[in-house]
Structure 1
Amino acid sequence: MAEHKHGDMDIREHEEMFHAFVKFMTWSVIVILAILVFLAIFAS
């Protein structure tokens, strides 16, 4: 069995996916809030 070396794993792909997820969630929240504001103003 190979020896485990702490901090030796390449995590670039994980970091890119995390940043993509954060960007997606940020835009999702912005769109949802815009829809809610639109409904609050025009659906009365």
Structure 2
Amino acid sequence: MGKLKRKEYHELLEPLEIELVGMARWAKTTGARILVIFEGRDT
């Protein structure tokens, strides 16, 4: 897979950020403990 253009990157990132915020709210509301692991490469 090649490099993404900035606009494409942000379009793909936004739904993931929304999901992560939703999960954080759920964890706070329910008192659940969660572990999030980010895996990837910088280059």
Shorter-chain TM-score range: 0.5 to 0.7
Name which one, 1 or 2, has greater alpha-carbon Rg: 1
Look up the match of 2:40.
Answer: none
Q: Normalising by structure 1, report the TM-score.
A: 0.52
Q: Normalising by structure 2, report the TM-score.
A: 0.53
What's the RMSD between the two structures over aligned residues?
1.9
Name structure 2 gaps, 5 residues minimum: 32-43
Q: Which segments of structure 1 move beyond 4 Å, counting only runs of 4 or more?
A: none
Q: CA deviation at 1:15?
A: 0.4
Percent sequence identity over aligned pairs: 10
Structure number with higher helix proportion: 1
